[in-house]
A and B are shown apart, each in its own frame.
Chain A
């Protein structure tokens, strides 16, 4: 995103909790938007960058959330330790699922990932000894920032210990995670890895003729995507403080996929916009429908209808990806600029 667009948005977002009309509800919705931003950015890697339809993303989200929940409850680990652990666990499952199945193409891969996510939900529902099954997992501790070991060393009277309470600290934590994921993806996009992904998406045959090991790159993409999904789940667990298998049903995968496609496949900013639009749409309908005298239960009716209409009039999403080939590609533009400069100096 261009800095002159990004900075004002970021500044406004940072100021928002301190404005008089910023209610807990508004902060909650915005935090939810940011959770979905993380998920949408994570999922975007697989269908957006590599061109593979992944219908099982919610499985990794669930794995991350339950990893975080169980580690918190049983071992009392801090959020900052759990985030990398959950990400690693998610990525591990990504590799386990991806390595044998990423050879598959198109819809066969889609159905395998879908089957995986359903198996995750079944596992969470049925392995009651571990997850308490449909009863859910209550009693997850909120996030803390514990710097007392430093402060006590400096001055025994100091205690730098802070436990998250209310929506505002979570709002900023989510923002931090969104920025981190965004920065990582931006770096990846223009790296050797990102170029390889684009090449695979545009033409797998040509890419493999050029010596790109397609399977390896796809597994890496899948693992990174799974890891980011798990980080989203990890935040979700320490934010809502309660988990149940129902939260990780297939519907969530759909929703995140819709965000990615609606925003613009393969475009990181698109994922952000898609997440904002779909979460906001749900909340707006919740408020608007009773005003119009319609029951709130009809919310999803309109939700579905609006999704159809958006796709009808914006089939490539709000921010269509920049073509990987052709003159509007930033790499080619850059080369052209450099060439012009060299010509001018010569």
Chain B
């Protein structure tokens, strides 16, 4: 039982990590808690399902299409909502992000209806639900492996982009000092757009994976996932990409164990309690560096 809980917790954890990375990258570059990120995640799942059911694409084509749509949407959100107020008070940007989140959530409700819907099973390969490995009483399905494989390869890809490419270097420089970057001739807006592209694409992927994992998707699913991912990002140290991955996995496991051993009613509560405890004893998150007060 414990082992199965751990496997499920880890699966959820890597997905949280995938969303948390998007949060933390945007935060690192423009210091904005992008509450609309949870909605990108939700829209990723809905775009994917619509590509399958309406356009009739196979799953393997629908996933990248949904990711591209979300990446474009990420850029659009930045240009429409965040760019005009980049120099304003931090809380103004936060309120805009909240407004954007409400807007997108309700837009999804208008387009797809507010009822939960199932992932179209005919598009999902049958072997996903078959077991790949079994140790004593732990079952690992191909879907588990698929989720792990996709997330880890995306994480590695992200690492390579951030550490090896020119635009990755620019992102890291931007996180240090924006004015200095402008003086060095970096096109700041283009780098920020690129950050939104990466974050949104990964968020969309996470949404699709969760929809596959639970076989359900609904317009308000972005809220809880977004909040958990935000918590994961803070847990690992906001602004730090490895921190977000680590925080997501810790949160996922804490949640699974909490649900198994404390009380399933307090499933979400365990995650927050762990979070509060970690933050009190390690105020800048597990892998974070000290942050100056900017609220």
Chain A residues within 8 Å of B, Cβ to Cβ: 47, 51-53, 100-101, 103-112, 114-116, 118-119, 122-123, 125-126, 204, 250, 254, 257-258, 261-262, 265, 297-301, 303-308, 311-312, 315-317
Chain A residues with Cβ under 8 A from B285's Cβ?
108
In chain B, residues 90-137, which have Cβ atoms closer than 8 Å to a Cβ of chain A? 91-96, 98-107, 109-110, 114
- Which of A103, A107, A204, A298 sits near B238, CB closer than 8 Å? A107
Contacts of B268 in A (CB 8 A): 118, 122
Q: Are B91 and A116 in contact (CB under 8 A)?
A: no
- The verdict on B295 contacting chain A, using a C-beta distance below 8 Å, is yes
Would you list 29 pairs from A and B whose C-beta atoms are within 8 A, ordered by A residue?
Answer: A101-B279, A106-B293, A107-B33, A107-B234, A108-B234, A108-B285, A109-B295, A115-B275, A115-B276, A116-B276, A119-B273, A122-B269, A254-B98, A257-B94, A261-B92, A265-B89, A297-B106, A297-B109, A298-B110, A300-B103, A300-B106, A301-B107, A301-B110, A307-B95, A311-B95, A311-B99, A312-B84, A312-B85, A315-B92
A260 to chain B, nearest CB (A): 8
CB nearest to A50 among chain B residues: B295
B292 touches A304 (CB 8 A): no
Assuming the contacts A107-B234, A300-B102, A304-B102, asked whether A312 and B96 have C-beta atoms less than 8 A apart, the reply is yes
Write out the residue numbers on chain A whose beta carbons fall within 8 Å of the beta carbon of B100: 304, 308
Least CB distance, A207 to chain B, in whole angstroms: 12
Mark interface residues in B260-291 (1 if CB within 8 Å of A CB, else 0).
Answer: 00010110110011011001100111000001
- Asked if B21 is at the interface (CB within 8 A of a chain A CB), the reply is no
- Given A115-B272, A122-B268, A303-B102, verify A308-B292 contact (CB < 8 Å): no
Further pairs besides A261-B91, A301-B106, A311-B92: 15, Cβ < 8 Å: A101-B280, A105-B291, A105-B292, A106-B295, A107-B33, A118-B269, A119-B273, A122-B269, A257-B94, A300-B105, A303-B102, A304-B106, A308-B103, A311-B88, A315-B88
B: residues with CB less than 8 A from A are 27, 33, 80-81, 84-85, 88-89, 91-96, 98-107, 109-110, 114, 227, 230-231, 234, 238, 263, 265-266, 268-269, 272-273, 275-276, 279-280, 283-285, 291-295
A111 and B41 CA atoms in complex are apart in Å by 20
Given contacts A53-B91, A308-B99, contact A111 B275 (CB under 8 A): yes
Determine the chain B residues whose CB is within 8 A of the CB of A308 once the complex forms.
80-81, 96, 99-100, 103
Task: Report the separation of the CA atoms of residues A306 and B276 in the bound assembly, to the nearest whole angstrom.
Answer: 34
* B295→A53 contact, CB < 8 A: yes
Nearest 7 CB-CB pairings of A with B: A304-B103, A315-B88, A307-B99, A304-B102, A115-B272, A105-B293, A301-B106
Q: Given contacts A308-B96, A311-B92, is CB(A119)–CB(B272) below 8 Å?
A: yes
Q: Which residues of A contact B92 (CB under 8 A)?
A: 261, 311, 315-317
Do B110 and A51 have beta carbons less than 8 Å apart? no
Which residue on B lies nearest to A97, using beta carbons? Answer: B276
CA distance A125 to B105 in the complex (A): 24
**Number of contacts between A and B (CB, 8 Å)?**
154
Q: Are B266 and A111 in contact (CB under 8 A)?
A: no
Distance between A259 CB and nearest chain B CB, rounded to angstroms: 10
Shortest distance from the beta carbon of B225 to any chain A beta carbon, whole Å: 14
Whole-angstrom distance between the Cβ of B33 and the nearest chain A Cβ: 6
**Nearest-CB residue, chain A, relative to B35:** A254
Return chain A residues, CB-CB under 8 Å to B280.
100-101, 104, 112
Q: Find the A residue at minimum CB distance from B266.
A: A122
Q: A135: shortest Cβ distance to chain B, in Å? A: 15
B269 touching A297, Cβ below 8 Å: no
A309 — nearest CB in chain B belongs to which residue?
Answer: B99
Contacts of A101 on B, CB cut-off 8 Å?
A: 276, 279-280
Cβ–Cβ contact B292 & A108, under 8 A: no
Chain A residue numbers with a CB within 8 Å of B81 are 308, 312
Complex-state Cα separation, A258 to B35, whole angstroms: 13
Q: What B residues does A106 contact at CB under 8 A?
A: 291-295
A23 to B158, CA, bound (A): 59
The complex places the Cα of A111 from the Cα of B234 at a distance, in Å, of 8
User: Is A311 within 8 A of B102, CB to CB?
Assistant: no
* Cβ of A36 to closest chain B Cβ, rounded Å: 15
How far, in angstroms, from A47 to B265 measured CA to CA in the complex?
32
A309 to chain B, nearest CB (A): 8
Across the interface, do B283 and A104 meet the contact criterion of CB distance under 8 Å? yes
| Bound form: Cα–Cα A104–B295 in Å | 12
Selected from B101, B103, B293, the residue in CB contact (under 8 A) with A204 is: B293
A297 and B93 alpha carbons, distance in the complex (Å): 26
Q: How close is A285's CB to chain B, nearest CB, in angstroms?
A: 11
